Structures are given as structure tokens and as C-alpha cells.
């Protein structure tokens, strides 16, 4: 490569690097959610609160090196973590570009595209996960090895163990390379991090073997019930690389594999062959194969088959794909120069658009984040001097809770005996994801405990993506610890929640309230004075009444009715029996026919023989154009033929800004 060609390559590289970095930061600051609301949030929380709780810097699950380096960024919240991830990606670009130039590979300037726009890498940047930093540390180590700075490479490589567990797969490859290069002095430095953290952790753990005894990989539970096929990750190629990228990757692997015998026999051509094979192709296959085995063989290693694990091999994939491009370019060079440039342009464009066509983009709050965010508005003002027990990390970020504070309990194996030790007025928040699985706490345990009072239930509105939060409060006088009850005002409230991205473009076009007694001329046959929160009357649905009154509103009475699309309904409910099969129905009638119908189930958690406040959201699936002759109807369908009372119905009619 001439000096002029090198200058052009540098310019193109830094242009793509800058464009990728700006894209990453823009997406991070405009996205409504993080890609990973589980482990990604946990890693972020450990980093954020490590300054207040220094013991977290030695948390092996959190990865001490990742925690230490990311912690300054974590102080600025999740957005700060996204910036940290973008910077790690930037360093990965730079080190791999330097290596590619040492390997004398053409088109090295394309590397930012192969790395950043790999679908899974693109997604994980928008999270607090450790895979991106692993790639940056790996790239730095490889660059030092290629530069023959072997002792420095060994020291850096040793710390990979405390960034990601895949480091245990990489160190043997590096040790083998050093042995082949007869760099015996560098080998002992592969133990640097072990010695360092053993010494740092001893004053706290008082155990020279604390790295082994506290390692979750050797002492944690094994997920035997989540086995996948050995070819699980091969089938996910489109989510990891995309089609074009995968073809280039295979070309690079094939080119390198078939060239090995010939290159080894010719010293001049064999320059860096060991580095290419052991570092890049070797790391690619050990990570891919070991993860494939661990997700398909019971009891091997904890692995749920998550695609995000493959982010670790993207730096190696990028270099192998670049080798594939160089191989293909030798064939294309037989044709006019414009053919090669057109080929590169098409390849890069197809790779760039791939992540934007994945299921996760744009990044939006999932059901757990939506429900937790909704609950946090009620919860945060009540947390002052009150203990809380929960497990879902989305609650932590939504309510801005320090999960390592002494007033916070994690919901692991909660039972009647442990509940007695919680202070009075403690909130226990059971979620339908983490609590029964990781927490091993059943909802029945909490519902059947007389020391607890159910105060709130939040549920995702879409029953095909179920998620619940049940908020209990510890009653006064039932604790073995000192304290007094802090009451929570209001009756039991059960609320269905829609994701913010579904409702953010809606504004209230109108609202109406219906209370008893009704106005003159209304049907009063269902009115009953037996139960009423106001002390007057309520609507009584008996076993022989399948339908009751219809609450109707003309579309013409709703501002901007042509863009109407959502109802928010609040009402008081007094169930006498189970509400199984009872629905709250919203429909739109127009030109003598029903053009949209949504029927949400009344929450079964409504406490019997007491008044409950129910809040529901109905997003209408409207396919026809609306006109002023239409009506929006809401009614209760007593399909189960049970007894219940209804009062204080309030309906909000929402129109879209689109």
C-alpha cells in the first residue's frame, strides 16, 4: 500500500468511525429503553452503586474490571453507560484497524461497519452488558501480541477473566501462541490478575481462594431446563451477523483454513499466520463451539442460549470477514475497477441496514419496563423511611432505588417465616418474571399470608405478553422487628398498563364520567342501593344479566375524532364471586356495523366483597376511516353470569397525533 493509499484509507476509516460513534450516541439518547432489561441493568446497578458500596468492586458476577472502569460513566445513569459502550467500541475499531494494517489487508477502513453494524453488537451497545468491553480488551491484547509486546499483552489478557468468562477460553490460545513464539518470559504474566485480585480481596474475604469459592460459575445453579440444539447459534446467524456478513465470514474462514498448509511451507507468506489462526479464527471457534455445547448439554455451564453472548466474537468475525473481502477482491480485480467499488458499496449498505430490520429496533420499553415505570410514579413518594422487598431490576431503575441499601431486601425464597422479620409497612413487590424463577417465591405464598395486605396490582394490557406486579404491604404488629405501620391511602387498585411507545402519540380528545343515579329517562332497572362507595347506588350485574347499560359517545363529540384510537377506563368494582370470564368491552359502531372491538378481561385479582379501583387501557385496532356518524361504546359483558357491582365509571377518549 502506497503512502497515498494509506492516507485515503485512514480518512475513510476515521470517517466511518466518527459516523458509527455519533450513530451509537444518538440512538442511545433517543431510544426509549435499553436493549437488555435483565443482566444489563444489574451490571449497570453494580457499577453505579460501587462507590457507595465498595464491596461491589469485588463482585465476581458483576466483573470487577468492568465495574471499576464503567463506574464513572454509570454515575450519570443508563445513558452514561451507553456512552461508555460507544467508547469501548471506538477502541475496538482502532486496535483492529491497526492490526489489519500490520497484516497488510486491503479495505481495513471497512472494519467499523463490520463491527458496529453487526446486528447483535449494534443492539448490545444500548445496554449495560459486559460483551462490548470484552471485545475492546480482546482487541487491545491482540494488537499487543501482533506488535510483539508480549509481556504487556499477557498482563492485559489476564484481566479479561474479570471482564467476561469467555476469557478462560482465550488465555489458552494466547499461551499457545506465546509458546510457539518461544516467549517463555511472558507466560507467567498471564496470572497477573489472579494474583492482583487475590491480594485485593483477601482483607475482605479472609480467604486466599476467594476467587474460586465465590465464583458463581463454580457454585451457581445450572439451568437444566433451558436446553437448546447444538446448532442453536448457527440458526441465529441473521440476528448475529446478517446474511451478507455471514457469507463474507465463511469466505474468510475458508480462505484462511485452506491457505494454512501452503503458507506454513513458505516462510515469507506465512507472516502472521499463527496470529490469524490462533487469535482470530481460534477465538471465533472456541467461543462459538463452547457456547453451543453449553446451551445444548445439561449440567455443563449456565447458558440460556442468549444471542447476546455472540457479541464476544464480533471483533474476530470482523477480521475474518475482512480477510474474506480481500480474497474476493482478487477475483473481482479481473474486471474494471468500478465493479470492485460497486461491490464494496452494495456490501456495506446491506450490512448497515441489517440491524435496523431486527425485531428489537427501535429500542422500546418492553412489558416489564412499561409496568415498572407506571408503578414507580405511585411508589417513589412512599419509599421514604420504608423498607422494600423485590427482585426485578426494572423496578430498581424506575423507582431509583439503591438495591444494596440495608432497607432493601431481595425476594429470594421468601416465606412466612422470613416475612415476619421485615419491618412493619415493608412493601413486597412480586413480579411474574424474576420472583417465581430466580427468586423461587410463589404468588400464593404472599396471598395466603395474613401478615400482608394487597394494595396494588399492575398488569400489562396485552395478554399475549403477560407481566404482573403485585404490591403487598406488611401489616402493623406482625413484625419481629421494631417499627410502626405507615398506611397507604385508597382501596385496592388494579391497573392495566400499555407500553409508552404505544401511547406516546395519543392525547386526550375528551372524557366523560358516569355515576349513579343516572339522569332522567335512563334505564334504572340495574340500580341497587345494597353496595355503593358513595353510599347511594351502584349498578348491580346479577347472574341473570349478561349485559348492562352501554356507555356511548358519538365520534363527532370527540375532538379530532378521525384520529381516535384509544380508551382509558377507570371504574369501581365490587365482586361478589370470581370475575373469571367477565370482560370490559370497547367497540366502535359505524354505518350499522362494528368496525373495531376490543374485550379486556376484568382482573381476577380484584378482592372479593370489597370495592376495588380498576384502571384499564384499550387500544383499538381500527382499519376503516372514521366518520362523524360513528359511536364509541363501552360496556361490561357478564359472560360468566356472576354477581358484581359497578360504580364511578370514567372514560378517557384519546386521539393520535399521527
Over the stretch 304-344, which tens digit does the pLDDT of each residue have?
788 999 999 999 999 999 999 999 998 888 888 889 889 99
Provide the domain limits for residue 560: 505-656
Residues 6+ apart with CB under 8 A from 31: 126, 362, 363, 364
Local structure of 485: helix, strand or coil: coil
Q: Where is the domain boundary, 497, 528, 543?
A: 497
Residues 412 and 561 in one domain: no
Q: What global pTM score does this model have?
A: 0.78
When divided into structural domains, the chain yields a total of 3
pLDDT band at residue 506, thresholds of 50, 70 and 90? Answer: low
Q: Is the pLDDT of residue 632 over 50?
A: yes
Residues 320 and 373 in one domain: no
Q: For residue range 153-169, list pLDDT tens digits in order.
A: 999 999 999 999 999 99
Report yes or no on 475 lying in a domain.
Answer: yes
As beta bridge partners, residue 474 has: 452
Task: Find the CATH number of the domain harbouring 580.
Answer: 2.60.120.260
Report yes or no on 645 lying in a domain.
Answer: yes
Report yes or no on 31 lying in a domain.
Answer: yes
Give the residue from 437, 472, 494 showing the smallest Cα distance to 617.
494
**How many Cβ atoms are within 10 Å of 108's Cβ, its own excluded?**
25
Residues 616 and 472 in one domain: no
pLDDT band at residue 477, thresholds of 50, 70 and 90? Answer: low
Q: For residue range 48-103, list pLDDT tens digits in order.
A: 999 999 999 999 999 999 999 999 999 999 999 999 999 999 999 999 999 999 99
Residues 29 and 171 in one domain: yes
Residues 412 and 444 in one domain: yes
Residues 128 and 160 in one domain: yes
Among 169-183, 201-215, 231-245, the least confident range: 201-215
Report yes or no on 433 lying in a domain.
Answer: yes
Residues 184 and 165 in one domain: yes
Residues 526 and 455 in one domain: no
Report yes or no on 412 lying in a domain.
Answer: yes
Residues 55 and 179 in one domain: yes
What's the chain's average pLDDT? 86
Residues 343 and 373 in one domain: no
Q: Is the pLDDT of residue 225 over 70?
A: no
- Total residues belonging to the chain: 658
Q: 165: which 3 cell numbers?
A: 468468562
pLDDT: which is higher, 5 or 169: 169
What average pLDDT does the segment 119-136 reach? 95
Residues 512 and 463 in one domain: no
Q: Where is the domain boundary, 456, 472, 497?
A: 497
Q: For residue range 250-271, list pLDDT tens digits in order.
A: 999 998 887 677 555 554 445 6
Q: What angle do helix axes 78-102 and 131-146 make, rounded to 10 degrees? A: 20
Alpha-carbon distance 430 to 389, whole Å?
8
Report yes or no on 362 lying in a domain.
Answer: no
DSSP assignments along 6-44, one per residue: HHHHHHHHHHHHHHHHHHHHHHHHH-SS-S-SSHHHHHH
Positive or negative, the Cα torsion across 590, 591, 595, 598? Answer: positive
pLDDT band at residue 603, thresholds of 50, 70 and 90? Answer: confident
Residues 628 and 514 in one domain: yes
Q: 186: which 3 cell numbers?
A: 511472558
Q: Where is the domain boundary, 497, 517, 540?
A: 497
Report yes or no on 371 lying in a domain.
Answer: yes
Q: For residue range 417-468, list pLDDT tens digits in order.
A: 888 888 888 999 999 998 998 888 888 888 888 889 888 888 887 766 788 8
Amino acid at each position: 500500500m502506497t503512502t497515498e493509499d494509506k492516507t485515503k484509507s485512514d480518512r475513510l476509516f476515521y470517517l466511518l468511525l466518527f459516523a458509527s460513534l455519533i450513530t451509537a450516541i444518538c440512538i442511545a439518547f433517543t431510544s426509549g429503553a435499553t436493549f437488555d432489561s435483565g443482566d444489563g441493568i444489574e451490571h449497570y446497578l453494580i457499577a453505579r452503586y460501587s462507590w457507595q458500596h465498595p464491596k461491589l468492586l469485588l463482585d465476581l458476577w458483576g466483573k470487577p474490571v468492568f465495574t471499576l472502569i464503567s463506574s464513572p460513566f454509570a454515575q450519570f445513569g443508563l445513558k452514561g453507560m451507553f456512552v461508555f459502550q460507544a467508547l469501548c467500541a471506538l477502541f475496538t475499531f482502532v486496535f483492529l484497524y491497526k492490526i489489519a494494517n500490520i497484516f497488510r489487508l486491503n479495505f481495513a477502513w471497512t472494519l467499523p461497519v463490520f463491527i458496529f453494524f453487526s446486528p447483535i453488537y449494534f443492539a448490545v451497545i444500548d445496554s449495560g452488558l459486559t460483551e462490548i468491553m470484552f471485545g475492546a480488551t480482546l482487541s487491545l491484547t491482540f494488537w499487543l501480541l501482533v506488535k510483539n509486546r508480549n509481556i504487556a499483552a499477557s498482563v492485559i489478557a489476564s484481566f479479561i477473566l474479570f471482564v467476561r468468562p469467555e476469557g478462560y477460553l482465550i488465555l489458552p490460545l494466547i499461551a499457545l501462541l506465546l509458546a510457539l513464539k518461544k516467549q517463555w518470559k511472558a507466560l507467567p504474566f498471564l496470572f497477573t490478575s489472579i494474583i492482583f485480585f487475590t491480594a485485593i480481596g483477601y482483607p475482605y474475604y479472609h480467604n486466599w481462594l476467594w476467587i474460586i469459592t465465590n465464583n458463581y460459575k463454580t457454585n451457581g445453579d445450572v439451568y437444566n431446563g433451558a436446553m437448546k440444539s447444538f446448532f442453536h447459534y448457527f440458526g441465529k446467524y441473521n440476528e448475529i451477523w446478517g446474511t451478507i456478513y455471514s457469507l463474507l465470514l465463511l469466505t474468510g474462514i475458508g480462505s484462511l483454513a485452506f491457505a494454512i498448509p501452503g503458507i506454513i511451507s513458505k516462510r515469507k507468506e506465512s507472516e502472521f499466520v499463527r496470529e490469524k489462526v490462533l487469535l482470530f479464527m481460534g477465538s471465533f471457534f472456541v467461543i462459538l463451539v463452547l457456547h453451543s455445547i453449553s446451551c445444548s448439554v445439561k449440567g455443563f455451564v449456565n447458558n440460556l442460549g442468549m444471542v447476546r453472548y455472540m457479541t464476544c466474537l464480533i471483533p474476530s468475525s470482523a477480521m475474518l470477514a475482512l480477510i474474506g473481502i480481500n480474497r474476493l477482491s482478487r477475483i473481482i480485480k479481473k474486471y474494471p475497477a468500478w465493479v470492485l467499488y460497486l461491490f464494496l458499496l452494495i456490501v456495506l449498505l446491506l450490512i448497515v441496514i441489517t440491524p435496523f430490520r431486527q425485531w428489537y429496533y427501535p429500542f422500546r420499553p418492553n412489558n416489564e419496563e412499561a409496568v415498572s415505570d407506571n408503578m414507580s410514579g405511585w411508589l417513589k413518594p412512599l419509599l421514604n423511611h420504608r423498607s422494600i422487598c423485590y427482585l426485578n431490576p426494572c423496578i430498581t431503575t424506575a423507582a431509583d432505588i439503591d438495591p444494596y441499601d440495608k432497607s432493601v431486601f431481595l425476594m429470594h425464597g421468601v416465606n412466612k417465616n422470613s416475612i415476619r422479620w421485615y419491618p412493619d409497612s415493608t412493601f413486597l413487590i412480586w413480579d411474574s418474571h424474576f420472583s417465581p424463577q430466580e427468586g423461587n417465591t410463589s404468588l400464593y405464598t404472599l396471598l395466603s399470608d395474613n401478615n400482608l395486605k394487597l394494595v396494588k396490582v399492575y398488569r400489562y394490557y396485552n395478554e399475549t405478553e403477560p407481566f404482573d406486579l403485585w404490591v403487598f404491604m406488611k401489616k402493623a404488629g406482625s413484625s419481629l422487628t421494631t417499627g410502626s405501620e405507615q398506611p397507604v391511602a385508597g382501596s385496592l387498585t388494579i391497573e392495566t398498563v400499555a407500553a409508552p411507545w404505544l401511547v406516546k402519540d395519543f392525547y386526550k380528545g375528551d372524557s366523560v364520567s358516569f355515576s349513579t343515579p343516572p339522569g332522567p329517562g335512563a334505564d334504572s332497572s340495574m340500580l341497587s342501593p345494597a353496595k355503593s362507595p358513595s353510599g347511594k347506588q351502584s349498578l348491580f350485574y346479577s347472574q341473570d344479566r349478561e349485559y348492562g347499560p352501554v356507555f356511548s359517545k358519538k365520534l363527532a363529540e370527540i375532538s379530532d375524532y378521525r384520529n381516535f384510537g384509544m380508551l382509558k377506563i377507570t371504574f369501581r368494582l365490587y365482586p361478589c364471586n370470581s370475575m373469571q370470564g367477565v370482560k370490559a368491552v370497547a367497540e366502535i359502531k359505524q354505518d350499522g356495523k362494528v368496525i373495531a372491538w376490543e374485550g379486556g378481561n376484568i382482573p381476577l385479582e380484584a378482592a372479593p366483597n370489597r370495592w376495588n379501583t380498576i384502571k384499564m387501557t384499550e387500544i383499538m385496532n381500527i382499519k376503516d376511516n372514521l366518520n362523524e356518524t360513528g359511536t364509541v361504546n363501552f360496556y361490561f359483558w357478564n359472560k360468566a353470569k356472576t354477581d358484581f357491582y359497578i360504580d364511578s365509571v370514567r372514560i378517557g377518549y384519546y386521539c393520535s397525533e399521527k
